Copies of this chain bind each other. A is one copy, B any other.
Amino acid sequence: MNMIRTILFGLFLCVASQVFAQHLASPDGNLELLFRLDNGIPTYQLAYKNKTVIATSRLGLEMEEASLTGGFLQKDVRNSSFDETWTPVWGEYASIRNQYNEMLVTLTQENEYKRVLLLRFRLFNDGLGFRYELPEQETINYLIVKDEYTEFNLTGNHKTFCIPGDYDTNEFAYTTAPLSEIKEVMEKRLCKKGYESKATSFTVQTPLMMKSSDGLYINIHEAALVDYSGMLLNVDDKDFRLSSHLTPDKLGKKGYLQLPCRTPWRTVIVSDDARDILASQLILNLNEPCRLEDTSWIKPQKFIGVWWEMFTGEGRTWAYSDYNKAKPGVTDYTAITPNGRHAANTAHVKEYIDFAAENGIDAVLVEGWNEGWEDWASYRKDRQFLFTKPYPDFDVEELHHYAASKGVRIIMHHETSANAADYERQLEKAFQYMVDNGYNSVKTGYVGYVIPRSEYHSSQWMNNHYIHVVERAAAYKIMVDSHEAVRPTGLCRTFPNWLAQESARGGEFESMGGNDPDHTTILPFTRLKGGPMDYTPGIFETRLSYYKGDKMKEQVGTTLVKQLALYLTMPSPIQMAADKPSNYRRFMDAFQFIKDVPVDWADSYYLEAEPGDYITVARKAKGREEWFIGAITDENARTAVIPFDYLPKGKKFIATIYEDGKDADWNANPQSYNIRRITVTNKSILKQRLAPGGGVAISLKEVTGKILNK
């Protein structure tokens, strides 16, 4: 199906010891890479339209057994070119072009061991990917990584959108500041989650988004994080140097390798147009093709869930009882007193199933269905949850049949309390239990410090764990939505049953300290470059009481309409309608948009974008002639200018516009909205006002005869 054209450009053998400079250009010629050996030390530079993006930066790996940081001779350079269009199982585009020029540099050390290091550079029109490769060789086999010395030397004090580097979590509020000031600002914004493990030096997390004073948008991340530690970036905020900071395990080891092996790709996406950063498919392109033979069972989906009630101050609980010493597998849960506030009970779940069935929602997530929630003791406890033991008030069989009769799926929840060892212990039986009871999707959770106790959420063993879970899930035809795992690096291309991850500060934080109005204008430039996020949009009731009680009243950082627009600006093949059915019933006309909006797309058009300020995107539904538009703004009102030139020519479309009310304001009047309809063609341009913290959501259907006027 895919058209593959691979052309071997040339082969240059360079056996002399002089300094060589190797050039590589992107297919469109806008990007240029320069590779040089400086006194035996490998370096690279990157330019975009003749502006330096990355100044001369060193490369190298330091192993306990071998230093691969210098003393190199350049032995071989092979240039090639690649152009392929591939079809993702789901996503923003029906097909994705993977076009790059490649340079593979073979380096050999001049000492007795003749150790060989390969550097593979791929230059796309939208950025650079490169990785280290270690082929089989005589004098080394197993290696323990001491450090990776990959530099990204910047040209100035860029405006930076970042969260602090942490080995265990990514759930922080974003800091927007010049690089020289982020440290100070960031520390004030740290949102405690309870299991932070701040990096041992001044670091930031990737994907890191920056904007230079000369108008370049630069995004640094990694692709295909497999069998390696997650990368943070050390920050030198005097000289504006960034460098790789690998997540160690708790013994201080940064990775365990066996030759042949390769690192993940280090990526730099760059453009002078912010929309290109959002549209970039570079990270996916650098991942391996789909490894599953049959993907017919993978279904993008919308879901509601027994979840938000636990966050909104009404006292609903994950746990069946208040007896905090109840132990899964030991306690007789049928004999202890229920607390009467357990959310995941059969009758209540049926109400959600009914609502889903009535409104065309595919699935219902049920959290708190299984034994173990009474005595949450992350890290302390070798056994926390049982994944095959429902609470006595949750009738798995009855709900299976009830949901099936209504055409609704239930999404299983596997909260592991980050005890990955115990999860692996139970994994096969847990998945078999899902299959036996009609489940085909699981939300996994990793809240808390990790067991095995040697590991962090982003250390190598855990990165392998997440993939192991996804691979085993595929064997049972189960889709995965993982929360609190390492932030993604495009592995959903290889394992498309990995529908989404959390791995950032999601909608739940509206009830735990709040999300700033600009938060979702940054996430698509950062976290989402790795893959879809289960952000849980759709919060209509924007006045919240803190989930721990009612001491702290929270205000959601958006208007109601912006919650609708998030279904477009935060694309994901699995989208929650996160609010309670009772709140949706109060606003059924607005809820119509959530019912209508797809979660899988044939095409996407980024119309306006500036990180931290605004995003406007139009998308065509996959498999039907419908288009949807979402636009959001930060705390400032703005007028979105929305063209329709992506629509087919010569046709008319009804645009149903869900817009902020004239007096709408995320803080003062978030629930003010208006729904209106207009007719557009591909020549129309809509100027649409967005309220402070607001947005707009638009659905477009072709006029096929009689036009209904409201």
The answer, yes or no, to whether A602 is at the interface (CB within 8 Å) is no
Determine if B256 and A382 form an interchain contact, defined as CB atoms under 8 angstroms apart: yes
Determine if A382 and B464 form an interchain contact, defined as CB atoms under 8 angstroms apart: yes
Docked Cα-Cα span, A227 to B327, in Å, equals 15
Which residue on B lies nearest to A468, using beta carbons?
Answer: B425
- Set of chain B residues within 8 Å of A251, measured between Cβ atoms: 250, 453-454
Asked whether A377 and B453 contact (CB < 8 A) given A136-B325, A424-B425, the answer is: no
Q: Mark A370-381, 1 if CB is under 8 A from B, else 0.
A: 000001010111
The answer, yes or no, to whether A587 is at the interface (CB within 8 Å) is no
Determine if A258 and B380 form an interchain contact, defined as CB atoms under 8 angstroms apart: yes
The answer, yes or no, to whether A518 is at the interface (CB within 8 Å) is no
- Closest beta carbon of chain B to A93's beta carbon, Å: 33
Determine if B380 and A142 form an interchain contact, defined as CB atoms under 8 angstroms apart: yes
Partner of A453, one of B381, B424, B425, B454: B454
- Set of chain B residues within 8 Å of A193, measured between Cβ atoms: none
Docked Cα-Cα span, A424 to B381, in Å, equals 17
Determine if A250 and B424 form an interchain contact, defined as CB atoms under 8 angstroms apart: no
Q: Mark A137-153, 1 if CB is under 8 A from B, else 0.
A: 00001101000000000
Docked Cα-Cα span, A251 to B380, in Å, equals 13
Task: Give the contact-size bracket for chain A.
Answer: 20 to 34
The answer, yes or no, to whether A452 is at the interface (CB within 8 Å) is yes
Which residue on B lies nearest to A424, using beta carbons?
Answer: B425
State which residues 605-650 of A face B: CB under 8 Å: none
Determine if B142 and A249 form an interchain contact, defined as CB atoms under 8 angstroms apart: no
The answer, yes or no, to whether A181 is at the interface (CB within 8 Å) is no
The answer, yes or no, to whether A603 is at the interface (CB within 8 Å) is no
Which residue on B lies nearest to A325, using beta carbons?
Answer: B136
- Set of chain B residues within 8 Å of A256, measured between Cβ atoms: 379-382
The answer, yes or no, to whether A585 is at the interface (CB within 8 Å) is no
- Closest beta carbon of chain B to A380's beta carbon, Å: 4
The answer, yes or no, to whether A428 is at the interface (CB within 8 Å) is yes
Determine if B377 and A421 form an interchain contact, defined as CB atoms under 8 angstroms apart: no
The answer, yes or no, to whether A429 is at the interface (CB within 8 Å) is yes
Docked Cα-Cα span, A451 to B451, in Å, equals 12
Determine if A377 and B454 form an interchain contact, defined as CB atoms under 8 angstroms apart: no
- Set of chain B residues within 8 Å of A375, measured between Cβ atoms: 258
The answer, yes or no, to whether A233 is at the interface (CB within 8 Å) is no
The answer, yes or no, to whether A427 is at the interface (CB within 8 Å) is yes
Which residue on B lies nearest to A259, using beta carbons?
Answer: B325
Determine if A258 and B454 form an interchain contact, defined as CB atoms under 8 angstroms apart: no
Partner of A258, one of B142, B250, B381, B461: B381
- Closest beta carbon of chain B to A188's beta carbon, Å: 30
- Closest beta carbon of chain B to A33's beta carbon, Å: 33
Docked Cα-Cα span, A425 to B253, in Å, equals 23
State which residues 32-48 of A face B: CB under 8 Å: none
- Set of chain B residues within 8 Å of A379, measured between Cβ atoms: 256
Determine if B425 and A382 form an interchain contact, defined as CB atoms under 8 angstroms apart: no
State which residues 234-269 of A face B: CB under 8 Å: 249-251, 253, 256, 258
Q: Mark A86-116, 1 if CB is under 8 A from B, else 0.
A: 0000000000000000000000000000000
Docked Cα-Cα span, A524 to B165, in Å, equals 55
Determine if B258 and A377 form an interchain contact, defined as CB atoms under 8 angstroms apart: yes
- Set of chain B residues within 8 Å of A250, measured between Cβ atoms: 250-251, 454
Docked Cα-Cα span, A133 to B428, in Å, equals 36
Docked Cα-Cα span, A662 to B382, in Å, equals 59
Docked Cα-Cα span, A382 to B460, in Å, equals 10
- Closest beta carbon of chain B to A540's beta carbon, Å: 39
Which residue on B lies nearest to A428, using beta carbons?
Answer: B428
- Set of chain B residues within 8 Å of A136, measured between Cβ atoms: 325
Determine if A452 and B421 form an interchain contact, defined as CB atoms under 8 angstroms apart: yes
**A-B complex: 8 closest residue pairs judged by Cβ atoms:** A452-B452, A454-B454, A453-B454, A142-B380, A424-B425, A256-B380, A452-B454, A421-B421
The 14 listed contacts between A and B (C-beta, < 8 Å) are A141-B324, A144-B380, A249-B453, A250-B250, A251-B453, A253-B453, A256-B380, A382-B461, A382-B464, A428-B429, A452-B453, A453-B454, A453-B455, A453-B461
